């Protein structure tokens, strides 16, 4: 998912600056931050430290001292879905936001400053799937990958891939890699390197969710991690099964945020 590794070892790979278009961060907005932090601390071993004050109540999750994800509190008067949101790197978030609009997407938040950390915007593609854009300053994004508890992959689940994949290609400069036959799936690449996926689910797309991005987190054992999810108050949506990138399961946390567990290299 990332590039420019600084080091490799048993505790994962550390990273420096992300190429524009690369998923560089994931963030979750919830109602009960304390309960959500307790859930992910038990599930992934995360620790937490305060994030930028400009974002309201917000913490960054740490693993081995490296930042891996963010969790913030939803305003009590806003009835928004609780969901993990991937952020895509940009060298100019204002230009990217304008391109999103010109290509049929919408920008709901920003662009705005997040202190000295960077500059962000949150938008949605023409199908309605929400994503973020991050222009790094002091905060480059996810600091470590390739270890249990870190983001491993991001996949867009949508009705069909053709039009929406073209949107992301135009905005972020991806190359499209499509299988010659089989399911309606596209891999988005930068310089020949896979960075994200798009999967057309047609009528199988959950009606209560609509098109959405799904973040995969690496685990040692998918079945064991899924059992821990249910024991901590979450739910298993799709039980563990073998996929193209490894053994995966789709789950939700206690507030209903959907994410995937993956065992094996992505």
pLDDT tens column, 123-171: 999 999 999 999 999 999 999 999 999 999 999 999 999 999 999 999 9
CB-based contacts of 58-62 (< 8 A; 24+ apart in sequence): 59/33
Distances (CA, A) of 169 to 32, 120, 225: 36, 20, 34
Neighbours of 244 (CB within 10 A): 11
What pTM does this model have?
0.92
pLDDT tens column, 77-95: 767 789 999 999 999 999 9
**Residue 108: phi, psi to the nearest 5?**
-95, -25
pLDDT tens column, 47-73: 999 987 777 899 999 999 999 999 999
Least confident of 5-9, 201-205, 257-261: 5-9
Q: Take residue 141 and report the two structure tokens written for it.
A: 């994004």
Provide the greatest CA pair distance for the chain: 49
């Amino acid at each position: 998912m990332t590039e420019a590794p600084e080091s490799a070892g048993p505790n994962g790979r550390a990273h420096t600056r992300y190429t524009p278009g690369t998923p560089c961060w994931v963030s979750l907005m919830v109602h009960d931050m304390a309960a959500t932090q307790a859930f992910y601390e038990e599930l992934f071993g995360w620790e937490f430290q305060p994030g930028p004050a400009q974002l309201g109540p917000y913490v960054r999750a740490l693993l081995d001292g490296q930042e891996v994800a963010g969790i913030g509190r939803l305003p009590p008067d806003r009835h928004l879905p609780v969901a993990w949101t991937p952020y895509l790197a940009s060298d100019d978030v204002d230009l990217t936001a304008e391109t999103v609009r010109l290509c049929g997407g919408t920008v709901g938040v920003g662009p705005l400053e997040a202190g000295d950390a960077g500059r962000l915007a949150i938008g949605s593609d023409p199908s309605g799937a929400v994503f973020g854009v991050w222009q790094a300053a002091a905060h480059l994004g996810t600091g470590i990958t390739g270890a249990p508890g870190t983001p491993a992959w991001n996949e867009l689940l949508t009705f069909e891939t053709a039009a929406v994949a073209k949107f992301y290609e135009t905005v972020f400069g991806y190359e499209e890699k499509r299988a010659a036959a089989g399911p309606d799936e596209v891999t988005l690449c930068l310089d020949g390197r896979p960075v994200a996926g798009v999967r057309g689910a047609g009528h199988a797309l959950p009606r209560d969710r609509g098109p959405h991005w799904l973040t995969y987190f690496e685990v040692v054992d998918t079945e064991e991690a899924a059992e821990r999810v249910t024991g901590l108050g979450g739910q298993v949506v799709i039980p563990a099964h073998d996929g193209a990138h490894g053994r995966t399961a789709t789950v939700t946390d206690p507030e209903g945020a959907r994410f995937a567990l993956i065992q094996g290299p992505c």
